[in-house]
Structure formats: C-alpha cells, structure tokens
Amino acid sequence: MLTRIDHIGIACFDLDKTVEFYRATYGFEVFHSEVNEEQGVREAMLKINETSDGGASYIQLLEPTREDSAVGKWLAKNGEGVHHIAFGTEDVRGDSEAIRGKGVRVLYDQPRTGSMGSSITFLHPKDCHGVLTELVTSNPDH
C-alpha cells in the first residue's frame, strides 16, 4: 500500500546551482547527497518534512554524470524540470507486482538500490498518464 509522496525528482544541468536556488528561495537544506553510478546521476535530497509513517518527503535534485543516462537523455529532450514522482511503500516488491497485475508496466524485474540505500522500481510513464512513477521502500537505517 502506498503511504506517502516520498519525493519529487527534478532533473537539472547544474546540481550545485540548483541546490543553492532551493536553499536561498525556500530555505531547504541538503539532507543527503550521493552519486549513483548505476543510474548515472549525482543527486541531492532536500528534506521537506517528516511523515506520520516514520518516513519523510523530499525534493530530489538530479544531475546526470553522463549523457547516456536516463536523466541525461531526459534533460536533452525536455530541459530542466520535474522528472518523476515517487511514492513510499513498505513493500516495493509486493506493491510493484500488484500494480503489474493491473496492467501497468514495471520497468525493473527486481527492485534496485536507490537513494540512501532504499529499494526502488519505476512504472512506465505511458501507463501512468505521462508521469514516470517511482515506488520506494526506505532503508530504515536512514
């Protein structure tokens, strides 16, 4: 069962410049940053608030580390902006299978490792009214 909006992913050309905009404009601070080599991105998670299920909601800023990454290709086609929405779930594997059973394409056969050690998968945007949708099970150690 989906429990919350985990994060909104925003693709950007310059992570440091974009982080500074969110800090100066809204007062959001970087909670976590990392490079995900598998996905080809450098990212910063800006915590917005805590949630009732023990998780949090974030803005995830994504800068591609290579042009052939999914975010790099997306930026080349669309420019900066909202890339995806992510919903939190206690069971990314179970929920993705249930959603697959409803005819929605799940992009990964097995969940992958996402930000802060989370478990993730994506749903095809053509099956979600044009929205790339991520399912996230948070790592309890973060």
Annotated active-site positions, please?
A: 7, 43, 60, 84, 134
CA nearest to 62, candidates 80, 38, 89: 80
10 Å Cβ neighbour count for 38?
9
Strands (E), the chain: 2-11, 30-36, 41-50, 56-64, 81-89, 112-113, 119-123, 133-137
127 Cβ contact partners less than 8 Å away, ≥ 6 residues apart: 103, 104, 105
Contact 91, 118 (CB under 8 A): no
- From the number of C-beta atoms within 10 Å of its C-beta (0-12, 13-18, 19+), residue 66 rates as exposed
Strands 81-89 and 112-113: unpaired
